[in-house]
């Protein structure tokens, strides 16, 4: 990959804050559908949907058309002034959701949507303790960062008081070394007992992703979530589902929680809601909203309820249903997973393939028996994939790394999946041959 020449790299390093380690050597000029392109026209098949935001493909025609017409409408308003797009988006989301999730607030990022939910939960319960999962990622702002237990904690000083952690139900690597390959929810029972020993009696909320993404693609099961909700209700913990990556069809449902037969107290949406534009939402019940209002809830930012971004949320819901994207996620996800499982039969370094819909994980190991992670090999495969024309994202598991987070656009075709599998196959083979 020759995009980032030495001179360009020096210039970039002199101008930009390195916010994600080293920048990719690929410099993108444009994006369309399942591909991104450099200035020379080289195409890279994108198996991450950008930052998991371009869920229906890069530069969807409806989104592009709306962008070109945006100058005729209001882009930004005073925070207390509403607009037709904001009201329409709130109405459309309420139509999609249970009656207990009908009060919306629109902000810009997942960090913000979770920040709003956490602040409201604290105000509604008069508590301040927030429980999150090991390996979770809920944002980079102070409140959302505190129950984020991935790699972003070290070096920044104390987190918010009352941040408590549950072990994640990581079937491939049982966090309490109790079972292997099949979670029986013992980790939940033990974890909640440990949390109970830490609490000072001021519980507020439990925040959870339906699939723990940065933790290495750890899906929650229906029985697990049902029991989790029971344990939360017993303790007065409001349940927040962070569906930044799982909403709008990616797991085969409009919202992932629909598969659990459990309704959360808060639903937070981001990434997929804007289709690449900065749009996020916090949704809760009329009862919780009323209590927060009476207690003086305030959360005002420069771009809360901006009409411009709300327009794209409306379009995303239209595209979701018109193009049957949830159904596509199930069909294409099964097809992709079959291809990954075929690779697992070929390569011993693939320890596990897991996930649902078009949010899949592929774990790289040194040895299938010991399940020791192979971070170096995973990084080499990722680099080789990019060189051969495939963007693949490695996430750090338990602070070490080794799992590919595979989340292509829901508009992806079987031919594009075949190409991705072919490139991944070639990359693994080339790296193993170089060892």
Could you confirm whether 173 is annotated as catalytic? no
pLDDT given at position 401: 65
The answer to whether residues 72 and 205 belong to one domain is yes
The boundaries of the domain holding residue 243 are 65-322
Determine which one of 209, 265, 289, 306 is catalytic.
209
The answer to whether residues 208 and 86 belong to one domain is yes
The answer to whether residues 150 and 297 belong to one domain is yes
Tracing tokens 């070096």 back to the chain, one arrives at: 155
Q: Look up the CATH number of the domain holding residue 430.
A: 3.90.1150.10
Closest CA to 101 of 2, 243, 226: 243
Could you confirm whether 331 is annotated as catalytic? no
pLDDT given at position 14: 86
Answer whether residue 71 shows pLDDT above 90: no
Q: Look up the CATH number of the domain holding residue 73.
A: 3.40.640.10
Could you confirm whether 405 is annotated as catalytic? yes
Mean pLDDT of the chain: 94
pLDDT band at 11 (very low <50, low <70, confident <90, very high): confident
Using left for φ > 0, alpha for ψ between -120 and 50, and beta otherwise, residue 340 falls in alpha
CA dihedral 226→232→234→237, nearest 10 degrees, is -150
Could you confirm whether 271 is annotated as catalytic? yes
Answer whether residue 396 shows pLDDT above 90: no
Determine which one of 103, 229, 250, 271 is catalytic.
271
| Count of structural domains within the chain | 2
Answer whether residue 37 shows pLDDT above 70: yes
Determine which one of 122, 137, 229, 289 is catalytic.
137
pLDDT given at position 402: 85
Determine which one of 242, 243, 265, 289 is catalytic.
242
Task: Name the token pair of 325.
Answer: 């994207």
Could you confirm whether 291 is annotated as catalytic? no
Q: Does residue 1 fall inside a structural domain?
A: no
Q: Got the DSSP string for 132-174?
A: EEBT----SSHHHHTT-BSTT-TTS----TTEEEEPP--GGG-
pLDDT given at position 44: 97
> Kindly report the CA angle at 10 between 9 and 11, in degrees rounded to 5?
90
Answer whether residue 25 shows pLDDT above 70: yes
For residue 63, the SS3 value is helix
Name the E strands within 162-298. 163-166, 203-208, 211-212, 218-219, 238-242, 266-269, 280-284
What is the reported pTM?
0.95
The answer to whether residues 81 and 142 belong to one domain is yes
The answer to whether residues 69 and 51 belong to one domain is no
Determine which one of 173, 229, 245, 396 is catalytic.
245
């Amino acid at each position: 990959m020759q995009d980032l020449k030495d001179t360009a790299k020096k210039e970039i390093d002199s101008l930009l804050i390195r916010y994600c380690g080293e920048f990719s050597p690929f410099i993108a000029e444009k994006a369309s559908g399942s591909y991104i392109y450099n200035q020379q026209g080289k195409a890279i098949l994108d198996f991450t949907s950008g930052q998991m935001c371009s869920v229906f493909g890069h530069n969807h025609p409806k989104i592009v058309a709306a962008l070109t017409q945006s100058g005729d409408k209001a882009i930004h308003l005073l925070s207390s002034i509403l607009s037709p797009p904001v009201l329409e988006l709130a109405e459309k989301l309420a139509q999609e959701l249970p009656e207990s999730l009908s009060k919306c607030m629109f902000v810009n990022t997942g960090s913000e949507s979770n920040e709003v939910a956490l602040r409201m939960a604290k105000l509604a319960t008069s508590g301040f303790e927030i429980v999150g999962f090991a390996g979770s990622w809920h944002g980079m702002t102070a409140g959302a960062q505190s129950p984020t237990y991935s790699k972003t904690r070290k070096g920044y000083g104390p987190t918010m008081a009352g941040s408590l952690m549950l072990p994640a139900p990581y079937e491939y690597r049982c966090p309490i070394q109790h079972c292997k390959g099949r979670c029986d929810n013992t980790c939940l029972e033990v974890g909640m007992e440990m949390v109970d020993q830490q609490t000072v009696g001021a519980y507020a909320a439990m925040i959870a992703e339906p699939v723990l993404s940065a933790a290495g693609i750890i899906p929650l099961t229906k029985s697990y979530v049902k029991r989790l909700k029971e344990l939360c209700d017993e303790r007065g913990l409001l349940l927040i589902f962070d569906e930044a990556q799982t909403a709008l069809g990616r797991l085969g449902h409009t919202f992932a929680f629909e598969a659990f037969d459990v309704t959360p107290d808060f639903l937070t949406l981001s990434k997929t809601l804007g289709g690449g534009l900065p749009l996020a939402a916090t949704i809760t019940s009329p009862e919780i909203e009323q209590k927060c209002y009476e207690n003086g809830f305030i959360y005002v930012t420069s771009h809360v309820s901006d009409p411009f971004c709300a327009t794209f949320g409306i379009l995303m819901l239209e595209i979701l249903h018109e193009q049957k994207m949830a159904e596509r996620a199930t069909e294409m996800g099964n097809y992709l997973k079959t291809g990954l499982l075929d690779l697992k039969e070929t390569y011993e370094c693939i320890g596990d393939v897991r996930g649902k819909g078009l949010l899949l994980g592929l774990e790289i190991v040194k040895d299938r028996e010991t399940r020791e992670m192979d971070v170096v090999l995973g990084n080499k495969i990722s680099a080789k994939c990019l060189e051969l024309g495939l963007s693949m994202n490695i996430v750090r598991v338990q602070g070490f790394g080794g799992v590919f987070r595979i989340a292509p656009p829901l508009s992806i075709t079987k031919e594009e999946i075949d190409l991705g599998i072919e490139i991944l196959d070639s990359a693994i083979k080339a790296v193993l041959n170089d060892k």
